Structure formats: C-alpha cells, structure tokens
C-alpha cells in the first residue's frame, strides 16, 4: 500500500511540473509583449521579435508597419534583410568545404583565387578572413562607398579586384578589425572552389536541408511575398531607405529571413546536421576581441540578466534594417529581433527580454533624442537643439537616452546634408558630454575635415587615438591628413 501511495504521489508531482512550466510561459510572454510594446511606443521600434526558452518558442509577434505607404503590419512571417547576420551562414558554408577537404583554414587567398594580388594573397589565411584579423581594408570603411558605389552592380570577381584588394592595414593575425571585404572574399572563394554561385550553394547546403523556406539571397527585382520595406530616420522623420545593389553586401550581408526561420537555424546549430561537431565548435571559439568565425562569443557579465551564460550572437545593419540574434547556449534560449526603422537600441531590448526570461524586471525603455532634436534642427537650427538637449537633461534625465550615440547620429545626418557647421556644433556637444570617448573625437574630426579645417581635424583624430589606440579609422585618416 505504501508503494502504491508513493507511486500515485510521484505521478501527481510529475504531472504538476509541466503544468507549472506551462503556467509560467504565458506570464513571460505577456511581460515580453508589454516590454517590447513600450519600445514601439517610445523608441520608434517597428519589427518582429521571437523568443525561445529551453528550445521552445514562447513568444513571437510583429510591431508597427512592414510597409508604411500601404499600412501593412509587421507579423512574424515578414521577411527582413539580415545585414551581417549573413556572415554566420558564410562561415558555415566555409566549414562545410573544410569538412570536404576542398578548403583549408590555414590555406591562403592565393590558393583559391589565382587572380588575387600575390603579395597579400599569399599571406592572408582563410581563418584570418573568418575572424576579421586579415588586415585587408573593409570597403564599407571608405566614406565615399555608399555615396559613389553602393547603387552600382559589380560581378563578384570584378568587385574583389576593385574594392577588396587594398594594401594591408596591419600584419595579418595581429589585430581585429571588422571587415566586410574579408567575407566578400570568402564568398568569392566558395564560388571558385565549388563552381556554384554563393546563392545556389546556400540553398543546397543550408536552406533546403533545414526547411528555411522563407530565407534566401535578396534580389531587389524579385517579387518576394511579405518582404518588409526598409526605412531610416532622418531629421524630419522616417523616410524610405536609399537603394542598395545587393550584389555588393554579397556574402557579408545580402540575405533575408524571418524570425521563425532563424529559430530553425538556431535549433540546427545544436546538432551535427550541417557539419561535424569539431568543425562546428571552431565557429564558436573566440579569437581576438571575442570573435569566432562569423559569431561574437561572450560570457554575460555579473551585472546583466543571465550572468555567467555563454552568449553566441551577432547583429546586422543594412540600409533600412537592423537585426540582432542572441543564443544563450547553456539554457538553449534564443532572442531574435528584426527592425525596419533602425532607431531603437536592439541590444537594450534584448537585455530586457533576458531579464524577463530570468525572472527579473527589465529596465524601462528611454525615449530616443533623435526624433525630438531632429525636428528642432530642421526648424530652428543647431543652437536651439543644443539648448533643448541641455533642458531635457536637466528636467527629464530619466525619460531620454542620453548616451553618445544619439548626438553622433544627429551629427552624421547633418553632415550628409552638408550642414557642416551644425554638425560640428552637435559633435562638440558630444565631446563636452563624453570627453573620455575616442569615438566622439573621431566624429568631430571627420566633420572638421569635411569643412576644410585640417588642423582641427588632425587634433581631434590624435585625441581619438590617444583615448582609443585601436581606432584604425582614426589612424588611417590622421596619416592621410598629415601626408597632405
């Protein structure tokens, strides 16, 4: 009788455990919905979110509009451009070829692209391309690239020769510098090794096997159902993002997907379906600056939700879109956030979602300064915007996000419109607010250089390097100005 009673109690407890978990899931989902809705209300977030907890999707929803001109709402099956999340797919394709023996991680560019310049091509390895340690200049670092080149089509090898073959910025393997040229080269290498296009290889080796039917290489001319339109924040409000020929981001940033498809990708990465485990782990092994092969790998610090967990993540940004994917591999949690009006801080959003997953209260979102100060810059000028900034910081310090990024964004918006003096005023305010940030001096130097004030530009680039010796952009610009 005692054994029978024990078994009945045990079965009752086992029955209650999943019920308690199931009861907790809707509560988390409701909290995530409320939290993300705050970002939609205060911080210009328009996009889709998916969250899985211990491999189970507990939340997915769209916010705002996929198309503002037709008032079409965002839903979880809307397709977004991924930007640099593409890099993890390129890395997987490389590792698959490594598994087949057709590519070696210690092989050199010249081994696979005979036309590439021999001095650099015989020195830079595949591993260094994957880990952003090659020293090859990134084509997107060129300030003229987006204005002069980004709308034009180039064949893969032609683009490599013209934009991915610059002189090395440092000895390969000695430094980390985020490099879109490196991943463009990896795409070209894949095509030469396999005899297939990058797009065809991606479909054959990853998308079809995983059932990722709503993902692919984005061609502007294709009729693609449920494709989100991309927008960007201007001084006077949101506008359609400028056209970009998707042959240029290529293997560094040309894919589209849905949050639901990235969940399929996440689940596959816990298996050996795509590549043997030893090679898969190379993807997730940090090199310089916590970067593996197409992934950022970090342990969440003690003052953040999920402290101690290993987080494997990557973000993406491309005209009209920004994206973020965070995988907490200890608990098999996943957070995917896509945005088609890049204004909200997706990192802070994800941190708030992590807090909910771990039973903590997320920080209340803070309103962006960009829309409010942008309107003042358009209608009343830089002096009025600076005065309003000071007033808001005095009267509502907790209601707005006063970090350096907002002023930096406004300054660059002004530079794009050739309002150099106003940009200098905004960047100077940022220097005043953040005198220990190398980035704000770098931005101010760029504005002075554009305005023809060479000595002020040199002084601020030097200050930027003093505060941030790793700022390769400042080093290059300073060298260029001093030579002139």
Three-state secondary structure readout of 413-463: HHHHCCCHHHHHHHHHHHHHHCCCCHHHHHHHHHHHHHCCCHHHHHHHHHH
Predicted pLDDT at 130: 98
CB contact at 8 A, 94 and 186: yes
For the chain, residues with pLDDT lower than 70 are 1-23
Predicted pLDDT at 22: 45
Q: Write down the domain spans for the chain.
A: 83-357, 370-483
pLDDT in tens, 343-399: 889 999 999 999 999 999 999 999 989 999 999 999 999 999 999 999 999 999 999
Predicted pLDDT at 7: 40
Three-state secondary structure of the chain: CHHHHHHHHHHHHHHHHHHHHHHHHHHHHHHHHHHHHHHHHHCCCCEEEEEEECCEEEEEEEECEEECCCCEECCCCCEEECHHHHHHHHHHHHHHHHHHCCCCCCCEHHHHCCCCCHHHHCCCEHHHHHCCCCCCCCHHHCCCHHHHCCCCCCCHHHHHHHHCCCCCCCCCCCCCCCCHHHHHHHHHHHHHHHCCCHHHHHHHHHHHHHCCCCCEECCCCCCCCCECCCEEEECCEEEECCCCCCCCCHHHHCEEECHHHHHHHHHHCCCCCCCCHHHHHHHCCCCHHHECCCCEEEECCCCCCCCCCEEEEEEEEECCEEEEEEEECCCCEEEEEEECCCCCCHHHHHHHHHHHHCCCCCCCCCECHHHHHHHHHHHCCHHHHHHHHHHHHHHCCCCECCCHHHHHHHHHHHHHCCCHHHHHHHHHHHHHHCCCCHHHHHHHHHHHHHCCCHHHHHHHHHHHHHHCCCCHHHHHHHHHHHHC
CB contact at 8 A, 58 and 51: yes
Integer Cα distance of 381 and 384 in angstroms = 6
The phi, psi pair for 461, rounded to 5°, reads -65, -40
Fold for 83-357, please state it.
Beta-lactamase (3.40.710)
Greatest alpha-carbon pair distance for the chain in Å reads: 95
For 319-376, strand residue ranges (E) read 321-328, 333-339
CB contact at 8 A, 89 and 83: no
Q: How far is CA 325 from CA 48, 58, 263, in A?
A: 12, 16, 10
Integer Cα distance of 316 and 47 in angstroms = 14
Answer yes or no: pTM beyond 0.85.
yes
Task: Please list, residue by residue across 258-270, b when 16 or more beta carbons sit within 10 angstroms of its beta carbon and e when fewer do.
Answer: bbbbbbbbbbbbe
Q: How far is CA 189 from CA 93, 115, 194, in A?
A: 11, 11, 9
- Burial of 452 (C-beta count, 10 Å sphere; 0-12/13-18/19+): exposed
Predicted pLDDT at 131: 98
Predicted pLDDT at 380: 95
CB contact at 8 A, 233 and 165: no
For domain 370-483, which CATH number applies: 1.10.1370.40, 1.25.40.10, 3.40.50.2300, 1.10.3720.10? 1.25.40.10
């Amino acid at each position: 009788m005692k054994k029978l009673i024990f078994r009945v109690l045990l079965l009752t407890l086992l029955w209650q455990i999943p019920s308690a978990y199931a009861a907790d899931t809707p509560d988390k989902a409701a909290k995530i919905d409320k939290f993300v809705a705050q970002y939609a209300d205060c911080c210009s977030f328009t996009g889709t979110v998916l969250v899985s907890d211990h491999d189970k999707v507990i939340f997915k929803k769209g916010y705002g509009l996929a198309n503002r001109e037709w008032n079409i709402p965002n839903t979880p099956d809307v397709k977004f451009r991924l930007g640099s999340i593409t890099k993890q797919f390129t890395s997987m394709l490389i590792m698959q070829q490594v598994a087949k023996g057709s590519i070696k991680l210690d092989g050199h560019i010249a081994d696979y692209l005979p036309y590439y310049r021999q001095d650099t091509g015989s020195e830079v390895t595949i591993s260094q391309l994957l880990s952003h340690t090659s020293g090859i200049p990134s084509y997107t670092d060129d300030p003229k690239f987006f204005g002069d080149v980004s709308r034009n089509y180039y064949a893969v090898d032609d683009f490599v020769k013209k934009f991915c073959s610059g002189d090395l910025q440092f000895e390969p393997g000695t430094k980390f510098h985020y490099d879109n040229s490196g991943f463009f080269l990896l795409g070209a290498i894949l095509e030469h090794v396999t005899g297939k296009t990058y797009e065809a290889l991606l479909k054959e080796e990853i998308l079809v096997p995983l059932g990722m039917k709503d993902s692919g290489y984005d061609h502007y001319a294709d009729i693609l159902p449920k494709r989100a339109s991309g927008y960007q924040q201007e001084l006077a409000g949101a506008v359609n993002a400028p056209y970009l020929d998707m042959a240029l981001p290529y293997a560094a940033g040309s894919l589209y997907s849905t949050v639901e498809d990235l969940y399929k990708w996440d689940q596959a990465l816990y298996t050996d379906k795509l590549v043997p485990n030893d090679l898969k782990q190379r993807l997730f092994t940090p090199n310089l600056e916590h970067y593996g092969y197409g992934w950022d790998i970090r342990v969440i610090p003690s003052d953040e939700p999920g402290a101690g967990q290993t987080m494997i993540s990557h973000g993406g940004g491309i005209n009209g879109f920004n994206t973020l994917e965070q995988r907490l591999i200890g608990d098999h949690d996943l957070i995917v956030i896509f945005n088609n009006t890049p204004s909200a801080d997706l990192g802070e959003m994800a941190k708030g979602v992590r807090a909910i997953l771990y039973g903590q209260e997320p920080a209340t979102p803070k309103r962006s300064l960009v829309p409010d100060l942008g309107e003042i810059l358009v209608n009343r000028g830089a002096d009025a915007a600076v005065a309003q900034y000071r007033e808001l910081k005095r009267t509502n310090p907790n209601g707005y996000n006063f970090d350096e990024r907002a002023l930096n964004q406004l300054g660059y918006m002004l530079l794009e419109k050739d309002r150099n003096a106003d940009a200098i005023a905004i960047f100077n305010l940022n220097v005043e607010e953040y005198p220990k940030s190398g980035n704000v001096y770098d931005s101010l130097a760029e504005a002075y250089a554009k305005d023809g004030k060479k000595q002020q530009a040199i002084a601020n680039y030097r200050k930027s390097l003093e505060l941030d010796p790793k700022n390769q952009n400042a080093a290059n610009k300073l060298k260029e100005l001093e030579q002139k």
